[in-house]
Amino acid sequence: MKKRTLPGTELTVSELCLGTMTWGEQNTEAQAHEQLAYAVANGINFIDTAEMYPVPPRAETQGRTERILGNWLAGRPRGDLVIATKVAGPGRRDWIRGGRTDLTPDVIAEAVGTSLERLKIDCIDLYQIHWPQRNVPAFGAVAFDPAKEREGPSIEAQIEGMAAMIEAGRIRYYGLSNETAWGVTTFHATARRLGLPGPVTLQNSYSLVSRNADFDLAEALFREKMSVLSYSPLAGGMLTGKYLGGKLPEGSRFERFTTLGGRFRTPMVVEAIDAYAALAQRRGLTLTQLAIGYVRSRWFVGSTIIGATTMAQLEEDVAAAETTLDEATLAEIAQIQARYPNPGM
């Protein structure tokens, strides 16, 4: 599998990153370890997790995914593995640290410590802010609402907290997630003013049906020399084709968890995916190949995060990473995007 060095870092990562949010809920520890073995054997060296996982998040399971990964890492040579995790943002999960989720330097330090303990490693390669401290529309919301403004630690305080962890050797780099163009540029401008490290990556949803990174974010990424770690490249499984025609397979994520992935289950997304499925069929591709091939074609994508609940899904995703879309296929994708510009937000 091809690898690339993320801009502004010494992190050389595989084009695919193994996501972990199902481990400990939809997947057992043994299944997770089987996924890890297969991924590494097939050239994946980048693994992404979060202190909040597994999903859907619950107080009873919080931190379980990091522990599962840590048990696999324990006693194993680190080699070229790149481990990324995330600190939860404020307000959504009051059972994390007893509600202490405002991103102050001391909370960041505490969260780093507990993640390191669960992961059983000495240093996190990439530590990400899971969602912004401030009021922003996120996770499929599109309208900014000033009425939702709240007090909280400044961007300066967050940068200082991350810089302290880098200085202490507990993390190597930090990144943002579910962030806006304003946030990206303000983090960098503030870090330059303080003479401290800025964020190096942005983990946002990006796929054929979720294209926010193509717009104002693209300019911010270009000017700040950042890359996207694209999550949900298959739109929660919608772009695998398993939900085509209104199907709801037994045991699938959307059948088990009816509140998950609402942004990917709208009529407009379904229409768009039908069009992409027809294009894939005309081109002799699977819908998964078309979807992953498209994300890999984008200049700002550093790595594409895939997740699977079965080995068959993981094998299909890894195989799809070998697909390079030709110009004619990309042109037809652009025609569909003109009709459905950003249905999954």
* Residues taking part in catalysis: 53
The residue behind tokens 């990091």 is 66
**DSSP code string of 208-274:** SS--GGGTHHHHHHHHHT-EEEEE-TTGGGGGGTTTGGG---TT-HHHH-TTTTGGGSSHHHHHHHH
Buried b (16+ CB within 10 A) or exposed e, 168-205: eebbbbbbbbbbbbebbbebbebbeeeebbbbbbbbbb
Tokens of 63: 């931190």
**DSSP code string of 118-181:** HHT-S-EEEEEESS-SS----TT-----GGG------HHHHHHHHHHHHHTTSEEEEEEES--H
Q: Among candidates 325, 250, 342, 258, which has minimal Cα distance to 287?
A: 325
- The secondary element (H helix, E strand) that includes residue 86 is strand 82-87
Alpha carbon of residue 156 to chain centroid: 24
Q: Among candidates 108, 219, 215, 96, which has minimal Cα distance to 166?
A: 108
Residue 127, strand partner residues = 85, 174
